[in-house]
Amino acid sequence: MHRMMTRYYEEILRIPFDKMPQVNLNEIAKESNAQEIFKLCQLVLFITVERENNAVVVERLQRLTEQSQGVVMNYIEEVSRVQEIECIPSPLEF
């Protein structure tokens, strides 16, 4: 899954994956490290909102409470800062 996600970031989103928060998969596998699981989930969440045909995801996010929406938005923004720093246009802007 991690390998496929790496390819998706680089080939579809055109974001260098080595610039993304690095996930320690060994810590997830051996220790069930919550912080590393969180980073992995954050990367997956970013894909779901940045991909084409994301309307279903956006609609579901809009059904969350305002507080939950704010939390999710912060998670997404943390990852999107890398895209902005790298001056990479969103694939949805093409």
Encode pLDDT of 48-90 as tens digits.
Answer: 998 888 899 999 999 999 999 999 999 889 888 876 665 455 5
Instruction: Report, as an integer, the average pLDDT of 28-56.
Output: 92
Best CA proximity match to 46, nearest among 27, 23, 26, 24: 23
pTM score of the predicted model: 0.76
Angle among Cα 23, 55, 19 to the nearest 5 degrees reads 25
What kind of architecture, by CATH, is found in domain 2-89? Orthogonal Bundle (1.10)
